[in-house]
Structure 1
Amino acid sequence: MTSLPRNNHITPIAEAEIPQGNQLFPVFLKLNQLHTVLIGGGNVGLEKLTALLQNSEQATVSIVAEQILPEIYELTANHPQIKITQKSFSENDLDNADIVIAATANNVLNEQIRQAAHARKLLINVADKPALCDFYLGSIVKKGDLKIAISTNGKSPTVAKRLKQVLAENLPNELDTTLQQISALRNTLTGDFASKVIALNKVTASLVDPKPVKKKNFKWLIWGSIIFALAVALTALWYNEPGFRMYAENIHPTFYYFLGAGFVFAMVDGAIGMSYGVTSTAFSLSMGISPASASMAVHLSEIMSNGIAGWMHYRMGNVNWKMFKLLIIPGIIGAAVGAALISSLEHYAMYTKPLVSVYTLILGSVILSKAFKTAKKKSADKIKRISLLGLGGGFIDAVGGGGWGSIVLSSLIAGGRHPRFSLGTVKLTRFFIAMIGSLVFLTMLNGAPWSAIAGLIIGSALAAPIAARISNRISVKVIMVAVGIIVILVSVKSIAGFLMKVL
């Protein structure tokens, strides 16, 4: 058995030279892998042995004493690894020891044991003699796998025992269940150390919240009150203000269609981290809007929704700034070029529309295939051409009205990048890309379906703050299947309509 690291300087320090304050360094020893020699079989020896076995039932202990209390035999009856030798102490008793505990009432014998232990460079605890100890046996509070050691630096064992009682009475036994659950969660986490710490911090935050349920209920009460107040106000205006009713009735129905669509598409995007652009574009094309106008509507609506999402990810520390720098400039360039190209072809919308529908059909198929693809436990080489990915993603996103998330985010994750930091970075960069693309569209397009654009902007903005919370209660696979099927059907309908006109 390999012994503990020894301290060559074991001579007691003069009282005047002892540093002020508690200089002890707490450690937890694996007593089941060490050999402890306990000299003394009286009441003090019984106390030390009880402390050892309470903290390590498999502790390997050799007891040497001339007189052995019957309680010690009873305590060790079910511990075959404990050896009892009834005899006088000799220095040879320490030959195979790792640590030593002297628990005799004979001060001369205790000093002899201490000298023999130090001669073998062994650490020793001498009962009731702090100045002679290399280490102390502190008071221990145990709750399953949780152990808390208390030390008074040898000044007052009584105070340590009282603190032990207070902690033992006030710490619930269910803490051990919490430890097991956190351990199980920790084993499921992937990614680097920082991401694991963030995930565990979120889980354990409730441990320091004195009234988490009441706080949560109070928050939902506030939101419910706001929604109820808005509903009452709108109802009152509708029935009591003819001008308001006339204004609402004169709003083009397209606004309401796109308001609902924008809300639903943003909720879906919050659940799976992609597909807002492709679903919005496919829906816009099915409503008779041209590809350039559809892409402009998507980009304008994504400024606010991605701005909110990007800010939330920034606050949560989910942004990889190195990746952000590699994506942002190429992504903006690609988006600007793509927006300019599709805008210049606005007069040829009859021909560009089926091409964009083919593109959305492909993306719908990709989303559908991802829903049934099982994750493979294999290490992937990290994608390195991030700038080129950003350039291509920005261009295709502007031309096709969507695809930044489907292309860039999927490629980053498939290339070995961490999902959380990839999602946060892609969301933040999407805000700037949507803003630049929108500026190009506004500059080059003469007219725009503002009712549809306004509906998408308001609908997606309303969904952005609650998308993440609602999405946690819905199966991601079900959402991806539904989105994939809907996008494919809408795209096929658009392509079929074009072919019927041509033929």
Structure 2
Amino acid sequence: MGSLPKYQTPGTAAGGTSEGNQLFPVFLKLNQLHTLLIGAGNVGLEKLNAVLANSPLARVTIIADYVSDEVYELAGKFPQVTIHNRLFTESDLNDVNLVIVATGNESLNNYIRDVAHQHNLLLNVADKPSLCDFYLGSIVQKGDLKVAISTNGKSPTVAKRLKEVLNEGIPDELDTTLQQMSRLRDTLSGDFAHKVKKLNEITSVLIEPKDEIAERKNFKWLIWCSIVASIAITITAFWLKNPGFQSFVQTINPVFYYFLGASFIFALVDGAIGMSYGVTSTTFSLTMGIPPAAASMGVHLSEIMSNGIAGWMHYRMGNINWRLFKLLLIPGIIGAALGAYVVSSLEHYSMYTKPAVSVYTLILGIVIFKKAFKGKHKKADKKIKRISLLGFGGGFIDAVGGGGWGSIVLSSLIAGGRNARFSLGTVKLSRFFIAMVSSVTFILMLSHGNHWEAIFGMVIGSALASPIAARVSNQISTKAIMVSVAVIVILISLYSIQKFVVKVL
């Protein structure tokens, strides 16, 4: 061991000024150390009981000119405990790690302290805090759970009373919980950070206040009621305004299956890389001849449920920045409603709006391609502050182009120095409401129903992919997917633009 520092009374600085409790709690593996106990009367018996009760395999050597019958009896139950009925000598300090003194002889105690320090050993002297390098605190134990209590040597009686309170207050069944958590930890894969996050999710309910639990339940019902309401509004509007919807229910167009399969794949890709569903779905829809407004409506309808579930999961994990959520939500809804209104009003001019949207998807494809080869983003010096303006712009562009809320808003927040985890959770949750408002606006604005087979294919395809999207993200290279998506989107967008230019010329 290294040399011990100049001795100071615990809790007191070198100048004698009180510094409060300066003790540093540790738990020693006494089964791997050699402990010397000097004294074997009543106090020695108490110390030996404390050591063996907490560490039954502790190696203890007892030195005492008097050994009580109770000490002999207790030591006889532990073969690794040795008793020497004689006076203490300095050579007894050889090959030991800790010293506990229980003699009641003040001069002997002072002598043992001096020679123990010369041997660089830590010691505890019963009922003499000023001579101690460490204290034996009161212990509360429930199986593998162990709680140590110390009063800085001021009052062992108070420590014992606290021990009684905790013994009664902590249920014995808590050890069962520890064993189950240990087995659960052994089943988890991934790195340390992932395991900690997963265990925090599971145990968060143990410390969550009742009012937060009630709030969470209310929010859950709000999410699901909103989903049910949006579906009911959608079906009712389709049925009342569009006779084509009624015939679609009876006769399914093959286009439905094309969009079902494509949307399923796009949703898997989005689950793997956290973005691109809007841009891939919109690009595919435009290529298949769907007008921009109808394409955007299909994308937003299919995103209602997936983003509602994702937002709820992030809410459960505590990944929501509520101040940021409020700043994004209202402007985002206004922007989305306005964007959906504008693009729906221009539906008759889809010949011209379609290439404009293709240019937009081309830009997003390039952004995705750049992200694939870009390293981790360095934290900005200042956080982005115009959150409301960002939400409005993101909602408007997302509705007009059929996607981009995640790419634009999330990227801007992270680039502006916001925490990535909280930004992702907040953007996902707000996206649910943005998608719902955009969808309702599109349904109320559009007057014809020639593309319901494509729209419902997208809705059902993305819903089927949602449960397995997370598994896909763990099996496929994110970089490879992003590059593939970017190349496909860029090529299809260029093809659509080229067709428009040729047609005009």
**Does the alignment reach a TM-score above 0.5?**
yes
Residue equivalent to 2:243: none
2:251 & 2:174 partners in 1: Cα distance?
A: 69
Residue equivalent to 1:304: 305
Q: Deviations over 1:415-449 (max 9, x none)?
A: 33333432332222222222222233233333241
2:381 & 2:353 partners in 1: Cα distance?
A: 37
Residue equivalent to 1:100: 124
Residue equivalent to 1:130: none
TM-superposed CA distance for 1:310, in Å, is 3.1
Residue equivalent to 2:390: 389
Moved more, 447-456 or 62-71: 62-71
Aligned pairs (5 A) from 1:429-468 = 429-448=430-449, 449-468=451-470
TM-superposed CA distance for 1:47, in Å, is 9.4
Pair 1:478–1:182, CA change in 2 (3 A): closer
Pair 1:456–1:84, CA change in 2 (3 A): closer
Pair 1:247–1:343, CA change in 2 (3 A): closer
Pair 1:271–1:40, CA change in 2 (3 A): same
TM-superposed CA distance for 1:84, in Å, is 10
2:415 & 2:304 partners in 1: Cα distance?
A: 26
Counterpart contact for 1:65–1:88, Cα < 8 Å: no
2:448 & 2:406 partners in 1: Cα distance?
A: 28
Residue equivalent to 2:200: 201
Aligned pairs (5 A) from 1:48-447 = 48=47, 71=82, 79=95, 81=97, 89-91=105-107, 93-94=109-110, 100-102=124-126, 114=127, 117=128, 120=130, 135-136=137-138, 185-186=192-193, 199-202=198-201, 250-376=251-377, 378=379, 381-447=382-448
1:84 & 1:432 partners in 2: Cα distance?
A: 67
The letter of the residue matching 1:319 is I
Pair 1:327–1:438, CA change in 2 (3 A): same
1:170 & 1:250 partners in 2: Cα distance?
A: 56
Pair 1:101–1:201, CA change in 2 (3 A): same
Counterpart contact for 1:39–1:101, Cα < 8 Å: no
Q: Deviations over 1:225-284 (max 9, x none)?
A: xxxxxxxxxxxxxxxxxxxxx999952221111111122222222222221111111001
Counterpart contact for 1:268–1:276, Cα < 8 Å: yes
Counterpart contact for 1:300–1:438, Cα < 8 Å: yes
Moved more, 63-72 or 383-392: 63-72
Residue equivalent to 1:4: 10
Pair 1:170–1:379, CA change in 2 (3 A): closer
Residue equivalent to 2:488: 486
Pair 1:393–1:45, CA change in 2 (3 A): same
1:177 & 1:329 partners in 2: Cα distance?
A: 41
2:184 & 2:311 partners in 1: Cα distance?
A: 36
Pair 1:312–1:123, CA change in 2 (3 A): closer
Pair 1:251–1:388, CA change in 2 (3 A): same
1:278 & 1:308 partners in 2: Cα distance?
A: 21
Percentage of matched positions with identical amino acids: 58
Pair 1:467–1:89, CA change in 2 (3 A): same
* SS of residue in 2 equivalent to 1:40: strand
Residue equivalent to 2:239: none
TM-superposed CA distance for 1:391, in Å, is 0.6
Counterpart contact for 1:65–1:89, Cα < 8 Å: no
The letter of the residue matching 2:124 is V
The letter of the residue matching 2:368 is I
Gaps of 5+ in 2: 1-6, 13-23, 30-34, 73-80, 85-90, 150-158, 162-166, 168-172, 205-246
Counterpart contact for 1:357–1:494, Cα < 8 Å: yes
Moved more, 336-345 or 247-256: 247-256
Q: Deviations over 1:326-373 (max 9, x none)?
A: 111111111122222222333332222222111111111211221222
Output the aligned Cα RMSD: 5.3
> How many residues align structurally?
401
The letter of the residue matching 1:287 is M
1:305 & 1:167 partners in 2: Cα distance?
A: 38
Counterpart contact for 1:100–1:124, Cα < 8 Å: yes
2:395 & 2:141 partners in 1: Cα distance?
A: 63
1:78 & 1:486 partners in 2: Cα distance?
A: 76
The letter of the residue matching 1:185 is F
TM-superposed CA distance for 1:402, in Å, is 0.7
The letter of the residue matching 1:93 is N
2:426 & 2:174 partners in 1: Cα distance?
A: 45
Counterpart contact for 1:380–1:414, Cα < 8 Å: no
Counterpart contact for 1:141–1:148, Cα < 8 Å: no
1:124 & 1:427 partners in 2: Cα distance?
A: 53
1:432 & 1:167 partners in 2: Cα distance?
A: 42
1:473 & 1:263 partners in 2: Cα distance?
A: 17
Pair 1:167–1:410, CA change in 2 (3 A): closer
Counterpart contact for 1:330–1:388, Cα < 8 Å: yes
